[in-house]
Amino acid sequence: MAASDQIRPWMMPPPPKGRGAVSNPDGRFEPAAREIADDGWGILDEEPEPLRTTVLRDTSRSVIAHNNSPDVGFDQSINPYRGCEHGCIYCYARPSHAFLGFSPGLDFETKIFAKFDAPVLLEKELRRKGYRCDIIALGANTDAYQPVERELKITRGVLEVLQRFRQPVSVITKSALVVRDIDILAEMSANRLAQVTVSVTSLDRETARRLEPRAATPPRRLKTIRALADAGIPVRVNVAPVIPGLTDHELEAILEAARDAGAQGANYILVRLPLEIKDLFRDWLQEHAPDRARRVLNLIRETRGGALNRSEFGERMKGTGPYADLIRARFRTASRRLGLDRKAMDLDTSRFRVPPGAGDQLGLPI
């Protein structure tokens, strides 16, 4: 095993239960980096106190984010939360917490920034004269239906605004909480204004629990797909991420289970390990899959030109090389066989309307 693939287990405290990351390294913008060291009193052998989630107020003045990435299927998105309590160790949004002065490790999943004003800000943006209606992706960076949403209901408030403006939305989540909003999503989808994608990483409960400790279990995600499909909502499955040597053997099984649950289409994303995630994922492997750590990291390198991550457009989502080509071929073959090779539904942007605001004079009937 390469030296860069090793950690010093005697320098690591026991990982906190119910969380994804096993460490909390300083962010890359911090002026100094701290390292845990045993003081001789055996403090690293002690069971750590349970980490509680802290919700902080996000003070952003806008809620719609824009991008021009050629390998992302949307130009604008809304993320009601920064950080994600699901704790998925592979989450490509983790490095963004460094911009807030926090660690992409445990801080990312325990210090959640909530955009309490998101519905109000969204309505203001949709009312702007220069606004051009295009599909909005909801939860593309961090999950809009993570556990704190059950109480805060910010995502539901956002959906209510989108519904009133007839603004098309594409939701992506790995949470069963999305079924709470079936009333809104079903009405919108009947007018070609909404669709949902459910991410499934593994069908093995133990693997999923370690990879995504606070996300819905695999059976609940399949039930979520079924509930959405039964409500007439177009639903797709995203096999994401596919992790070579760890979950890639489940690719066909996940697609078949999702098809049987009612999914109408499918996509996949190869695991991405940008910036701090490389070290976080390496530490996670040493803790939870030490017997497979070397093989997993070497297979990822095979799909990333010898590195653990490549950020070039056109490569970062699917990878390159023989192993990445094999995964791509398997996905295409299985999707075609299962009837999941259909494109996502074209949502209707022509229905967008700005409803009367408070105090506006109503138009005369014609």
Please, what sign has the CA dihedral across residues 95, 76, 163, 198?
Answer: negative
In-domain check, residue 134? yes
Tell me the pLDDT tens digit for each residue of 158-184. Answer: 999 999 999 999 999 999 999 999 999
Is 228 a member of any domain? yes
Q: Is residue 78 part of a domain?
A: yes
84 with 142: CB under 8 angstroms?
Answer: yes
- Mean pLDDT of all residues belonging to the chain: 90
Sole residue written with tokens 């069963």: 176
Question: In degrees rounded to 5, what are phi and psi of residue 326?
Answer: -65, -45
Determine, yes or no, domain membership for 66: yes
Q: What is the DSSP letter of 19?
A: -
pLDDT for the residue 25: 83
Q: What percent of the chain has pLDDT over 70?
A: 87
**Burial class for 357, CB neighbours closer than 10 Å (0-12, 13-18, 19+):** exposed
pLDDT mean over 217-227: 98
Convert the pLDDT of each residue in 22-41 to its tens digit: 988 877 776 766 666 555 55
Q: Which two tokens stand for residue 334?
A: 């299985």
Q: Residue 13, preceding bond cis, omega within 30 degrees?
A: no
Confidence of residue 314 (pLDDT cuts 50, 70, 90): confident
> Tokens representing 309?
């991550």
Q: How far is CA 135 from the centre of its chain?
A: 18
The identity of residue 90, as a single letter, is Y
Number of structural domains (the chain) is 1
Q: Is residue 294 part of a domain?
A: no
What Cα–Cα distance (Å) separates residue 178 from each residue in 124, 141, 250, 313?
25, 16, 25, 31
In tens, the pLDDT along 282-311 reads 999 999 999 999 999 999 999 999 999 988
Give the integer Cα–Cα distance in Å for 259 and 236: 9
Residue 269, classed as helix, strand or coil, is strand
Residues sharing a CB contact under 8 Å with residue 49, sequence separation 6 or more, in sequence order: none
In a domain, 18, yes or no: yes
How confident is the model over 71-75, as a mean pLDDT? Answer: 73
Q: Give the helix, strand, coil percentages of the chain, each rounded to 5.
A: 40, 10, 50
- The per-residue pLDDT for range 78-106, each reduced to its tens digit, is 999 999 999 999 999 999 999 999 999 99
pLDDT score for 363: 56
Residue 203 has pLDDT above 80, yes or no: yes
For the record, the structure tokens of 212 come out as: 């995504």
CA distance 202 to 246: 9
How many residues are given for the chain?
A: 366
Tokens of 70: 């050629």
Q: Is the separation of the CB atoms in 192 and 349 below 8 Å?
A: no
Contact 256, 335 (CB under 8 A): no
- Is position 20 within any domain? yes
pLDDT of residue 1: 46
Domain extent for 133: 11-268
C-alpha 76: how far from its chain's center?
Answer: 16
Q: Tell me what pLDDT residue 345 has.
A: 84
Is 115 among the domain residues?
yes
Contact 114, 148 (CB under 8 A): yes
Does the pLDDT of residue 152 top 50, yes or no? yes
How many whole angstroms from its chain centre is CA 138? 10
Own/partner contacts of 149-154, CB < 8 Å, gap of 24 or more, are 149/80, 149/81, 149/175, 149/177, 150/177, 152/55, 152/114, 152/116, 154/80, 154/81, 154/114, 154/115, 154/116, 154/118, 154/119
- Tell me the CATH number at 245: 3.20.20
Task: Please give the pLDDT value at position 17.
Answer: 81
Based on the number of CB atoms within 10 Å of its own CB, is 131 exposed (0-12), middle (13-18) or buried (19 or more)? Answer: middle
Structure tokens at 238: 């995203």
